[in-house]
Each structure stands twice: as structure tokens, then as C-alpha cells.
Amino acid sequence: MAHNRVVQWSTMSRIWWLYDAKYQCPFRSARIIAGYLQGQHKPIYHALSDVGDHVVVINSRHIAMREELWRTFTFSYHTGYAKGFSRTPAWRLHSMEPTMMIEKAVYSNMPGFLLRRKYMRRLHIYPDEEVPPEIIGNVCDQIQQIQKVPKRLDEYTAEEIQAFPKLFDWSEEYVIENISADKPKDTVKAAKK
């Protein structure tokens, strides 16, 4: 039954996925990543059997949050002793440890039973694009991102900015703060507003 052995090995094997977290919402990404870690994308999935895959997350430093969440979203912690309560805003936590936001979000997106720690060990988070070759060598597929990566203004060429349709002109007495020497940039900013 040597062939049956390898067939079973193939069915039950864990494959390695890559996820690019650049400009992605950590909370919505975490829901997707948690599904892959638990193996919910497989037809052989069962809640009690450990059939999850590995996920390598890159660019965790460059995640994006909407509105004022960097300031208003807080992580709270209690040491267990009196006056041990602490509350850290997301921006602070992220500046201290750029992989922590994704990790916490994924952890909280999984059911709280004993397999959770095992699943978390199969999550590999890297703050930037640099991943050790022994990790990136394992990867065989990539998870689709959940939102569009916006193109930043400095990524546009001067011609593109010039060619962009102008919606309206500012009145002459309108004062624009932080006006820079680059005139075309300001016009685009104004257009977007």
C-alpha cells in the first residue's frame, strides 16, 4: 500500500501560502488568514482535526486602518495585580512591534480551544518584504488581498499628474497651506478634494 501512503500524505499535507499585507486592513485580513490556518478552504476540513496550512505574511509594517482607528483603537491588558491595567493605542503598539497587530487580530479570530496555539505556530509574520529563503522557498501559492492597494501621489510621474483632468479652479484669494514649490502636485490635491 505504498501508493496509498503517499496519496494520504498528499491529501493531509500542509501547503504554504503567502499573504501580502501591504495597505490591507489587519482585522479583515485576519479573518481570511485564520480560515487558511484552520484549513477551512479544504474539502477535508473538520473543526476537530488539525488540517490547517502555513501562512507567511509579509509587509505587516505597512498595514492600513480606516478613519481614526490608529488613534482610537486600543489594546488593553491587565497584569492581574492591583493597578495593573494598561491600554495601548494601535499606533503605539504598531510602532513598538510591527508584527503584533496582525498576530493579535488572527489570534482573536480563531476559536478559543487547544488547537489555537498550534495554528498560531504556523503563522509566519515578517514586517517587510525580506523573508528568510528557507521560508519563502516553501511557499507555493498566494492568498488574494482583500482591498485595493492605492497608488500614492509620489508614485505618479509628473506627466501623469499633468494629464489628470482638472475638476475646478481655486479662487484666487483661496489660501492653500504648506504650499510647495511643485505646482502640479497641488493642483491634483485640490482636484481630489
Partner 1 sequence: MSSRSLPATRLINVGQNGVGRYVCQLARITLRFCKHQASSRGMRDFVENYLVDFARSNPNVVVYVKPHRHRGASIQADYLNGNSHKTRVSKMDMDDICKWIELARTRSGVDIVRKTKNFQTHSPSIQGVWHPFLFKDPSVNLKTFPDSEYGRFEVNEVTATERILQLAERMKQLELEKGEGKSEKDGESV
Partner 2 sequence: MAAPLLRHLSRTNVIARRTVLAFSKHNNDMQCRYLRNSKSLPPYLKEQVERRTKVGPEPKRHPSAFGCWNYDAELFAFGKRLGEDFDVDILREAFISRSYIEMEIEERKKVGVKTQIPDTSCNEELSIEGKQLIQKYLKAYLRFNFPYMFEEGICAICEYLMTTEILASVGKLIGVRDLIQSKHYPPTDEEMVDTFMAVVAAVAKSQTEERAGAFVVDFLVPRLVGKDINEMWKLDNPMGLLSAVLQSRGMASPESRLLWQTGCSSIMSLYHVGIYSDKELIGRSPGETLTIAEKQAAKEALKNLMKSDDSRPPFLSSSKVPLKSLDLEKKNPSADLLLKLYSQSDTSAQRATK
Residues 14-33 binding partner 2 (CB under 8 A) are 14-16
User: Applying CB under 8 A, which of residues 86, 137, 149, 176 lies at the interface with partner 2?
Assistant: 137
Question: 32 or 56, CB closer to partner 2?
Answer: 56
Cell of 90: 494601535
What pairs with residue 77 in β-bridges?
86
Give the interface segment with partner 1, choosing from 88-96, 98-106, 162-170, 177-185 (CB under 8 A). 162-170
Residues 47-66 binding partner 2 (CB under 8 A) are 54
Residue 90 burial by CB count (10 A; 0-12/13-18/19+): exposed, middle or buried? buried
Q: How far apart are CA 64 and CA 146, in angstroms?
A: 12
Give the interface segment with partner 1, choosing from 69-77, 81-89, 161-169, 179-187 (CB under 8 A). 161-169
Question: 1 or 163, CB closer to partner 2?
Answer: 1
CB of 13 to partner 1, least distance (A): 7
For the chain, the straight-line distance linking the first and the last C-alpha, in angstroms and rounded, comes to 68
- Per rule CB under 8 A, is residue 20 in the interface with partner 1? yes
Q: What are phi and psi of 192, to 5 degrees?
A: -70, -35
- Per rule CB under 8 A, is residue 58 in the interface with partner 1? yes
Angle at 26 between CA 133 and CA 93, to 5 degrees: 90
Question: 83 or 192, CB closer to partner 1?
Answer: 192
Q: How far apart are CA 25 and CA 14, in angstroms?
A: 26
The answer to whether the CB of 63 falls within 8 A of the CB of 25 is: yes
- Residues making contact with partner 2 (CB under 8 A): 1-4, 6-7, 9-10, 13-16, 54, 134-135, 137-140
